[in-house]
């Protein structure tokens, strides 16, 4: 049933694409801001309390509704889970952004591609240099595919009902808003949410990296993962980026201009620096990775019926 639920959600997204941001992550963001406003005392204890209250506020009602839906009929529960996945998964959005940026670069519209990337990243436009735009777009594509699709699919498969599909993005939003997006001296409140997300993401990062290796250049992906990930600013993220770059046989990272300054970044992957053709290859890699996940779901479904 979980395979059918996932396929229904993906087909619904294709037929009726969500406009703008996915609705559920936006809701989680509002809940995180509300919890911080009421409970932030500037220390770790208040952060632990806020995270526990946030998770309880969302997951306890969801567990009750899921239990009642299952008691009515399995189809009702499947419809609930499909609706949650429809409002959460960002796979088609990710490939759409990659495709638009790749077309802009291919047509010589470097400024337009840079603006599209800036909208995707949620920050001011960066350099119009096509190579930098292609590298940053590829990095964001790998990052978004992991956080917005593959890690969610992992926890949806592991935890009962729809709990995993909600817990992971909810914790990610809390970590980002309370820990990663604030000044260092204000991060005590978000410390626990940040550590909780690191724990939730530890296995999915490695599963995503291994999937990229399986559907791409296996040996290069593993070599880059092992030798380069620890050099990245966020080593956990580096696992996904290094493996994806190695699987594609391209180089990501490298210094990039931000305004008049250059940000020094280590190289990830192997081969030539990513260009617009690498974005098309990345789309193919992500689709193959999704197919592999569907096969995994099919095997789980077959085992559940045996």
> pLDDT-derived band of residue 240, with 50, 70 and 90 as boundaries?
very high
| Size of the chain in residues | 306
Quickly state the pLDDT bin for 185 (edges 50, 70, 90): low
Question: Taking 70 as the threshold, does the pLDDT of residue 124 lie above it?
Answer: no
In which domain, by residue range, is 204 found? 2-305
DSSP secondary structure string, the chain? -HHHHHHHHHHHHHHSPPPSS-HHHHHHHHHHHHHHHHH--SSHHHHHHHHHHHHHHHHHHHHHHHHHHHHH-HHHHHHHHHHHHHTT--HHHHHHHHHHHHHHHHTT-HHHHHHHHHHHHTS------HHHHHHHHHHHHHHHHIIIIIHHHHHHHHSSTTHHHHHHHHHHHHHIIIIITS-GGGTTTTHHHHHHHHHHHHHHHHHHHHHHHHHS-HHHHHHHHHHHGGGSSSHHHHHHHHHHHHHHT-EEES-EEETTEEE---EEESSSBP-HHHHHHHHHHHHHHHHHHHHHHHHHHHHHH-
Residue 191 above 80 pLDDT?
yes
Mean pLDDT of the 38-43 span: 89
Whether 175 shows a pLDDT value over 70: the answer reads: yes
Whether the per-residue pLDDT at 183 is higher than 70: the answer is no
With cut-offs at 50, 70 and 90, classify the pLDDT of residue 17.
Answer: confident
Chain position carrying tokens 């594609």: 248
Cα(30)–Cα(4) distance, integer angstroms: 31
Please report the pLDDT score of residue 182 as a whole number: 63
Name the token pair of 298: 């099919």
pLDDT, residue 80, reads 93
**What confidence score (pLDDT) does residue 243 get?**
96
Number of domains in the chain: 1
**Highest mean pLDDT: which of 140-154, 169-183, 184-198, 224-238?**
140-154
pTM comes to 0.93
The pLDDT mean for the chain works out to: 90
Nearest to 148 by CA among 189, 98, 112, 183: 98
What's the Cα-to-Cα distance from 166 to each of 37, 62, 295, rounded to whole Å? Answer: 22, 9, 22
122: pLDDT strictly greater than 90: no
Using the CB atoms, write b or e for 19-39: b if 16+ within 10 Å.
eeebebbeebbebbeebbeeb
Strands 256-258 vs 251-253: parallel, antiparallel or unpaired: unpaired
pLDDT higher than 70, residue 259: no
Q: CA-CA distance, 252 to 230, in Å (whole number)?
A: 15
Give pLDDT, residue 264: 80
């Amino acid at each position: 049933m979980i395979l059918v639920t996932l396929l229904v959600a993906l087909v619904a997204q294709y037929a009726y694409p969500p406009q703008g941001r996915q609705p559920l992550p936006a809701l989680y963001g509002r809940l995180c801001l509300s919890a911080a406003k009421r409970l932030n005392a500037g220390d770790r204890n208040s952060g632990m309390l806020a995270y526990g209250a946030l998770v309880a506020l969302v997951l306890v009602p969801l567990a009750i509704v899921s239990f009642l839906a299952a008691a009515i009929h399995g189809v009702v529960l499947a419809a609930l889970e499909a609706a949650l996945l429809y409002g959460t998964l960002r796979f088609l959005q990710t490939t759409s952004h990659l495709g638009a940026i790749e077309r802009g670069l291919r047509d010589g519209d470097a400024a337009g591609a840079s603006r599209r990337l800036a909208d995707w990243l949620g920050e001011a436009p960066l350099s119009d240099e096509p190579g930098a735009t292609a590298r940053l777009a590829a990095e964001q594509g790998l990052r978004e595919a992991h956080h917005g699709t593959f890690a969610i699919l992992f926890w949806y498969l592991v935890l009962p009902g729809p709990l995993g599909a909600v817990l992971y993005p909810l914790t990610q939003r809390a970590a980002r808003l309370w820990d990663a997006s604030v000044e260092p001296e204000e991060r005590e409140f978000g410390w626990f949410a940040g550590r909780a997300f690191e724990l939730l993401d530890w296995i999915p990062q490695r599963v995503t990296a291994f999937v990229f290796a399986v559907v791409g250049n296996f040996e290069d992906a593993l070599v880059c993962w092992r030798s380069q990930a620890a050099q990245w600013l966020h080593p956990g993220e580096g696992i996904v980026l290094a493996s994806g770059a190695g699987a594609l046989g391209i180089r990501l990272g490298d210094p990039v201009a931000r305004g008049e300054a250059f940000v020094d970044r280590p190289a990830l992957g192997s081969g030539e620096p990513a260009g617009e053709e690498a974005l098309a290859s990345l789309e193919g890699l992500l689709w193959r990775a999704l197919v592999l996940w569907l096969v995994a779901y099919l095997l789980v479904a077959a085992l559940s019926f045996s």
